Chains A and B, each alone.
Chain A
Amino acid sequence: MSARRPHGLLDLDPRAVRHARALARKAGAPVVRLSRTHTTVSVERAVLRLAGLQGADLEGIPWANRLVDVVREQVGLEHGVALPVWDALARSGQADVLAVAQQAATGALAFAVPEGRDATRARRLARAAAARGIAQIDRNRRQRERLVRRYGDPPKPWIYLIVATGDIREDIPQAQAAAREGADVIAVIRSTGQSLLDYVPEGETHEGYAGTYATQENFRLMRAALDDVSRELGRYIRLTNYASGLCMPEIATLAGLERLDMMLNDSMYGILFRDINPIRTFVDQRFSRQIHARAGIIINTGEDNYLTTDDAVDAAHTVTVSQLLNEYFAKEAGLTDDLIGLGHAFEIDPARPDSFRLELAHALLARELFPDAPLKWMPPTRHMTGDIFGGYLLDGFFNLAGALTGQGILLVGMMTEAVHTPWLSDRDLALQNVRYVLNAAGGLREDFRPAPDGLIVRRAHQVLDEAVALLQAIVDDHSLLEAIADGTFGLMKRPPGGGRGLDGVVKHGPEYYNPASELLEEGT
């Protein structure tokens, strides 16, 4: 009997893995077709933002929203916003898009869908304007690469810490302190409910609910502060924010323009957890991921959320299915493996026998299915009860599972989870926990070989089998949209005709033009 070399630690059958990916492609392809034939108000606003439109009117309504609303009212959005806007700009002799937006708001501009040579001119102007935004995104990507070379890239796993005061001026010193204490990635968590705003707030903000608003100016201020501390520490500190929600395309665009490094961007989170219309979400998601791909921004997907609503063992395979779908959508939008931070979490009830072995099985399955993705490993939240001492131990085991299974991005768990937003001392203690585990056991991966017929290997195979079966059912019995409508993921039933933001979805007309999509698809 010749010894066949096992595939990785779990000896997953490469044919089964290929089959799983093929099924994910099959399930996702109709959704991609839908995304290619529809636009949304947020996609159109992102085009304007890419072309440099910033600021808001006296009531705080962004000019991007005002302009898209006026255009939609006058000529509809099925042609896209670019043709009528740059046609009006050329005809009226306005200096820039901001002037067009301001004029339009007074009712002084009549928009039309240009034809013939007028259309050619509008297309050319719009493309040049969008190209300036893309060029800024390209410069930022090169700048990041330069800074990473100059300051140095921290080793994996990257230590990911959250700040969330509501006031960007308070967030800045906290973020810098966290970086000095060892954080490699700073996430500025958003104000509760920002994902449901159908506009991006403007300017520097000082008030938020359990988080700080994502705005272009807040992005700029924080990135500059982290550049300062990166220089001081000799380590490039990455900045994360959240794209998911009704404004995915715009927030992705602003992140690219302000050199953010990672973005929470899940293909289904908004649908399932925020009741955002499925079509709106998939259309927005595709555009936003094309922007992320261009900007070299690592996406973080949100599979951890499933395990906060459903049982972490029973629903383990839905995480795998979602990872496969997120990977398919990400690659389709141009993201490479190194930019796909697929999510998963340590959420099994610690009272359950063998809970840690099961966690290892799930974490290792994700690692071996997606060997080149910087997996994002999320700490326990559901079974953090306010018992800070027990919680500290649980976080230690979470860190150990992360080290043992080679996770790429380690979100630092707080022992005061479920008590309050982290204090300075909570973060410091949490980082000590991480440092101890990585220092004591960071190299243990080298020695760790689960028994070929042991619980870990068997469990990983079982989860993959269940995931394949679920994907097969989605493909055979119905479409992904129907599966979402049936409550397959996270127990939520979300029909394609329901949810927020549906009125912002528009089917392309035959003359639809989007200069940003054109440039992004060309990849030039």
Chain B
Amino acid sequence: MTGSRRPPEKRLFRPYGDTTGDGAVQVSFTLPLRHDKRAEGAALQLARKMGLDPALVAHAKPIGADYTFFVVYGRCSHLVDPTLVEVVEREYPLLTPKEVNQAIKSGLRRRLVVVGACIGSDAHTVGIDAILNVKGWAGEKGLEYYREIKVVNLGAQVSIADLVAQARAEHADAVLVSQVVTMRDSHLANTREMSAAFREAFPASRRPLLIAGGPRFDEGAAADLGVDRVFTKGATPGVVASYLTHALVTSRHPARSSGGATP
């Protein structure tokens, strides 16, 4: 049909219920409408706008006086083409805490030291604590939970000089800095000041890995801020631990081969 000379390889797909091409889809949602025939009609209208035609309201249940919950089945008219899907590959694998511990143990042969702080006047330790505290975030335990990671959480309003001194005293492999307050772009200024101070205080080969995190950072701004990595909204302890393992262990000590100085 398209005139392609290659054997026709299937490219386009519909959802599958019990027959190829049936496009069967199930969705559930709540409308802020009292449950009556009009509300059910509105649910069907929504389903059609979502590309479900025909659609069937299989279940409608009032939630209180003003809301109705629907389960709708329908035939979805949309097609998907997997060849057009762009997959953004993380350059490092996501590891479980166990795998992180194993990698550090065999690759580094000592505990990995992470120093964390909120710098400047920022008193919001929410971000750094979500990543570092055992309590963790999003169902994942924080870095303190990892046996092979030593966490030194300096808390809030840490001066940059103190942070550098502590990182040196603890022989930090990585320094995590959290910035939640963004008034007058203070998060950017603080982070640049911090990275400059570390560059001044450490020779390039000894400088700890610098990581900035906070909800308003741009993930692509690492170079601009002078840090090695930026984590933003949605980063979990597991993601950070996996990155640390990649950056400090597996990429630097591949199977612990002899004599290779890291670049």
Interface residues of A in 170-206 (CB under 8 A from B): 177, 180-181, 191-193, 196
Cβ 8 A contact of A192, one of B137, B144, B145, B155: B137
Q: Does B186 contact A (CB under 8 A)?
A: no
Cβ 8 A contact of A425, one of B69, B133, B144, B145: B69
Question: Using an 8 Å CB-CB cutoff, how does the interface string of B50-64 with A read, 1 for contact, 0 for none?
Answer: 000000000001011
Q: Does A112 contact B (CB under 8 A)?
A: no
Contact status B126-A193, CB under 8 Å: yes
Contact status A275-B126, CB under 8 Å: no
Q: How far is the CA of A209 from the CA of B128 in the complex (A)?
A: 13
Q: Which residues of A contact B159 (CB under 8 A)?
A: none
Q: Which residues of A contact B134 (CB under 8 A)?
A: 272-273, 275, 309, 490, 492
Q: Which residues of B contact A272 (CB under 8 A)?
A: 134
Smallest beta-carbon distance B56→chain A, Å: 19
Q: Does B141 contact A (CB under 8 A)?
A: yes
Smallest beta-carbon distance B113→chain A, Å: 16
Smallest beta-carbon distance B67→chain A, Å: 6
Contact status A424-B135, CB under 8 Å: no
Q: Look across to chain B and name the residue whose beta carbon is closest to the beta carbon of A492.
A: B134
Contact status A428-B126, CB under 8 Å: no
Q: Does A267 contact B (CB under 8 A)?
A: no
Q: How far is the CA of A425 from the CA of B135 in the complex (A)?
A: 28
Q: Does A148 contact B (CB under 8 A)?
A: no
Q: How far is the CA of A196 from the CA of B142 in the complex (A)?
A: 15
Q: Do A424 and B129 form a contact, CB below 8 Å, given A275-B144, A492-B144?
A: no
Q: Say which size band chain A's interface belongs to.
A: 20 to 34
> Interface on chain B toward A: helix, strand, loop, or mixed SS?
mixed
Smallest beta-carbon distance B94→chain A, Å: 15
Interface residues of B in 109-166 (CB under 8 A from A): 124-126, 129-130, 133-135, 137-139, 141, 144-145, 153, 155
Q: Which residues of B contact A300 (CB under 8 A)?
A: none
Interface residues of A in 68-115 (CB under 8 A from B): none
Q: Does B45 contact A (CB under 8 A)?
A: no
Q: Which residues of B contact A502 (CB under 8 A)?
A: none
Contact status B64-A193, CB under 8 Å: no
Of the listed residues B69, B126, B135, B137, the one surrounded by the most CB atoms of chain A closer than 10 A to its CB is B135
Contact status A274-B133, CB under 8 Å: yes
Smallest beta-carbon distance A272→chain B, Å: 7
Of the listed residues A193, A196, A309, A428, the one surrounded by the most CB atoms of chain B closer than 10 A to its CB is A193
Q: Do A425 and B28 form a contact, CB below 8 Å, given A181-B64, A209-B126, A275-B144?
A: yes
Contact status B145-A309, CB under 8 Å: yes
Q: Does A500 contact B (CB under 8 A)?
A: yes
Q: How far is the CA of A418 from the CA of B136 in the complex (A)?
A: 13
Q: Which residues of A contact B126 (CB under 8 A)?
A: 191-193, 209
Q: How far is the CA of A124 from the CA of B28 in the complex (A)?
A: 64
Contact status B64-A177, CB under 8 Å: yes
Smallest beta-carbon distance B174→chain A, Å: 19
Contact status A424-B30, CB under 8 Å: yes
Contact status A193-B30, CB under 8 Å: no
Q: How far is the CA of A381 from the CA of B139 in the complex (A)?
A: 8
Q: Does A444 contact B (CB under 8 A)?
A: no
Question: Using an 8 Å CB-CB cutoff, how does the interface string of A484-504 with B read, 1 for contact, 0 for none?
Answer: 000000111000000010000
Q: Do A180 and B64 form a contact, CB below 8 Å, given A309-B145, A428-B69?
A: yes
Contact status B30-A309, CB under 8 Å: no
Q: Do A424 and B125 form a contact, CB below 8 Å, given A192-B130, A193-B130, A381-B139?
A: no
Q: How far is the CA of A429 from the CA of B67 in the complex (A)?
A: 13
Q: Look across to chain A and name the residue whose beta carbon is closest to the beta carbon of B180.
A: A209
Smallest beta-carbon distance B72→chain A, Å: 13
Q: Which residues of A contact B138 (CB under 8 A)?
A: 418
Q: Which residues of B contact A181 (CB under 8 A)?
A: 63-64
Q: How far is the CA of A272 from the CA of B137 in the complex (A)?
A: 16
Q: Look across to chain A and name the residue whose beta carbon is closest to the beta carbon of B138.
A: A418
Q: Which residues of A contact B28 (CB under 8 A)?
A: 425
Question: Using an 8 Å CB-CB cutoff, how does the interface string of A272-297 with B read, 1 for contact, 0 for none?
Answer: 11110000000000000000000000
Smallest beta-carbon distance B135→chain A, Å: 5
Q: How far is the CA of A384 from the CA of B61 in the complex (A)?
A: 25
Q: Which residues of A contact B135 (CB under 8 A)?
A: 273-274, 305
Contact status B63-A193, CB under 8 Å: no
Q: How far is the CA of A191 from the CA of B135 in the complex (A)?
A: 14
B residues sitting closer than 8 Å to A (CB atoms) are 28-30, 61, 63-64, 67, 69, 124-126, 129-130, 133-135, 137-139, 141, 144-145, 153, 155
The 7 tightest CB contacts between A and B, nearest first, are A193-B126, A273-B135, A428-B63, A425-B30, A425-B69, A418-B139, A209-B126
**What are 25 A-B contacts defined by CB distance under 8 Å?**
A180-B64, A191-B126, A192-B129, A193-B126, A193-B130, A196-B129, A209-B126, A272-B134, A273-B133, A273-B134, A274-B129, A274-B133, A275-B133, A381-B139, A382-B139, A384-B139, A418-B138, A423-B30, A424-B30, A424-B67, A425-B28, A425-B69, A428-B63, A428-B69, A492-B144
